[in-house]
Structure 1
Amino acid sequence: MDPKYQRVKLNDGHFIPILGFGTYAPEEVPKSEALEVTQLAIEVGFRHIDCAHLYQNEGQVGQAIRSKIADGTVKREDIFYTSKLWSTFLQPELVRPALEKSLKNVQLDYVDLYIIHFPLALKPGEELFPKDENGKMMYDSVDLCRTWEALEKCKDAGLAKSIGVSNFNHKQLEKILNKPGLKYKPVCNQVLDFELTPEDMKAIDGLNSNIRYYDLVFLADHPDYPFSEEY
């Protein structure tokens, strides 16, 4: 099939492959495995590689991408690379340095898509999940509209082709969309959303489990916790 029929057009004019290869793995899986499996994913036809600072494997994923470019399997423009802004970097002045750090790790000049991973600000620093001396998560307060403006500047600087969000509920997304002076709309709100066969849907509906697979319940008392609202 012609690759152009395997992509969809984003609201900023760029195209995203309809299937993406996610590189998240549980902590017990060695980070080194990300190199091999990402290489294999590209070899079998995946062109959208989804990664994040949180996954702590951007170096290995980037090495896999570069190796497949070097051996002629793909060109850089064939790969759609997604990275994500982690919650400890939501303060506006931290956004570009965070993206530049991801670019340094993956050794690419730009990402195709950069998204806010969660609308939950955590205390800035190197710890992914900062805690106080009592083991309680340390939150931060940030205006997500200012965070978004910093992403817009990253797009203008050519560091990200497209920008978007992830795990935002409808109120949080509307806050961005209704922001005065909005320059770029988010191209996506990345959530678990795909189509199954009617038979599969009937089986799933019959479970009546009413759960989210990844709901970050340990952050449920955060004032910006998104999962109390619908997407």
Structure 2
Amino acid sequence: MSAKRVIMAAVESLKMLGGTRIPAFGLGTWQSKPGEVGAAVEVALKAGYRHLDCAHIYQNEAEIGEALQKCFNEGVCKRENLFVTSKLWAGDMEEQYVLPAIQLTLKNLQLDYLDLYLIHSPFAFRHNLDMSNLQEVDKLGYDESRIAGIWKGMEDVLGKGLTRAIGISNLTITKTESLLKTAKIVPAVNQVECHPYFQQKKLREYCDTKGILIEAYAPLGSPARRGVEATDPVVMDDPTIKEIASKKGATPAQVR
């Protein structure tokens, strides 16, 4: 076993509400191109990654599913040792769409269950819209009662054993408070953008009081994100982070 695999295999995990443990580090699959994402998943799993972050709207779950089956068949890892997250897209933001949405994700990923299923965003789009031709009329915005209904649907798929935990993504303190008014089950996770230049201190403190884990996406600052300007600061080029990395004998991306 390579040193890299030993390091990744020893990555710490955190306990979520309900007792399920989530690996502290994972491979994100956003913006992973068709024909490339499967190979990336294979390399990651062989290197010791055991946490994959997926979403229906990324439009690559079927290819990820093929890569997972290949790795399972080759003995790279077992399903029970892997943590897979996916997300309910804004176009499925009604209670009655939650079950068919997770069933489609499971079919594409070729899995019997997820480890974590998240509401991808607090706002909604019209169901079955053409994302390549999005119009203003398709944007349904945020509605407190809709979120309450969606969360009931999330609780239902949890009860059916289709996922081991449920959570939210991109919800502010106010919107999380609104959800908790009617929730029977507290979200295990709130996945939000979080990195040295956007630390989300108040949200982190609030979620901590509720037992909700904050999961960071774009922890390296997402330098390849849409709309980035040439003059925008780059987290990994920050002098302080580089100095810390140098002292620790690490790369800037490894500083924590």
Q: Where on the TM-score scale, by shorter chain, does this alignment land: which range?
A: 0.7 to 0.9
Tell me, which stretches of 5 or more residues in structure 1 are unaligned?
A: 197-210, 217-231
Please say if residues 11 and 24 of structure 2, whose CA atoms lie closer than 8 Å, have aligned partners that are also in contact.
no
Secondary structure class of the residue paired with 2:131: coil
Structure-2 change in CA distance of 1:98 and 1:129 (3 Å)? farther
2:105 aligns with 102
Match of 2:16 among 10, 18, 39: 10
* Correspondent of 1:172 among 172, 175, 183: 175
1:82 corresponds to which of 80, 85, 99: 85
Question: Does 11-20 or 30-39 show the bigger shift?
Answer: 30-39
Greater helix content: 2
Where 1:151 maps in the other structure, the secondary structure is: helix
Q: Which moved more, 1:153-162 or 1:139-148?
A: 139-148
| Structure 2 residue aligned with 1:200 | none
Query: How much does 1:215 deviate?
Result: 9.7
Q: Distance in 2 between matches of 1:53 and 1:159?
A: 15
1:184 match: 185
Given residue 185 of structure 1, which amino acid in structure 2 is its aligned partner? V
Code of the residue aligned with 1:69 in structure 2: it is F
Residue 51 (structure 2) aligns with: 48
Q: Distance in 2 between matches of 1:93 and 1:183?
A: 18
CA RMSD of aligned residues (A): 2.6
Partner of 2:216: none
* CA apart distance, 1:148: 0.2
TM-score by length of 1: 0.76
Alignment of 1:32-71 (within 5 A): 32-71=35-74
Higher relative contact order (CA 8 A, sep 6+): 1
Aligned length: 194
Whether the aligned pair in 1 keeps the contact of 2:54 and 2:86 (CA below 8 Å) is yes
Mapped contact 2:129–2:138 kept (Cα < 8 A)? no
1:144 is aligned to: 147
Q: 1:186–1:215: structure 2 CA closer, same or farther, 3 Å change rule?
A: farther
Contact 1:130 / 1:138 at 8 angstroms: preserved in 2? no
Percent sequence identity over matched residues?
Answer: 33
Q: Any unmatched runs of 5+ in structure 2? A: 1-6, 198-220, 228-256
> Counterpart of 2:118?
115
**Does the aligned pair in 1 maintain the 2:9–2:49 contact within 8 Å?**
no
- Report the TM-score, using the length of structure 2 for normalisation: 0.69
Q: CA deviation at 1:155?
A: 0.3
* Structure 2 CA distance for aligned equivalents of residues 212 and 71 of structure 1: 33
Counterpart Cα distance in 1 of 2:113 and 2:86? 10
For residues 212 and 33 of structure 1, the distance between their equivalents in structure 2, rounded to whole angstroms, comes to 19
Partner of 1:156: 159
